[in-house]
Amino acid sequence: MPGVKVQVTEKCIGCGTCIKGVCFVNAIDLINNKAFISNECREYGRCVEICPQKAIEILFEDVNYVKKSIEEIDNIIDIA
């Protein structure tokens, strides 16, 4: 997604939880006992939720990204 980035922080202990079928596109590997996220990442964020160390974070380069996304969804979905 444009303006969204998933990254591994120094909190990673290399437990491997995030590489066990969590990622839809297999974008995570362990390299030198630390999670590495490749360019295949589509920013779904499942790895962020599953990491027991809270070592993966999502960065929003556009501070209005969430608001814009909600507005886009609101324009295409009619909830009666």
Q: Does 16 bind ligand SF4 (CB under 6 A)?
A: yes
Task: Find the binder of ligand SF4 among 23, 27, 41, 56 (CB under 6 A).
Answer: 56
Amino acid identity, position 64: N
Distance (Å, rounded) from C-alpha 21 to C-alpha 37? 14
Q: Which is nearer to ligand SF4, 3 or 16 (CB)?
A: 16
Helix or strand or coil: residue 47?
helix
Phi, psi angles (nearest 5°) of residue 26? 50, 50
Q: Does 58 bind ligand SF4 (CB under 6 A)?
A: no
Task: Find the binder of ligand SF4 among 1, 17, 48, 65 (CB under 6 A).
Answer: 17
Q: 54: closest CA among 7, 21, 20?
A: 7
Residues of this chain that bind ligand SF4 (CB under 6 A): 8, 12-18, 35, 51, 53, 55-56
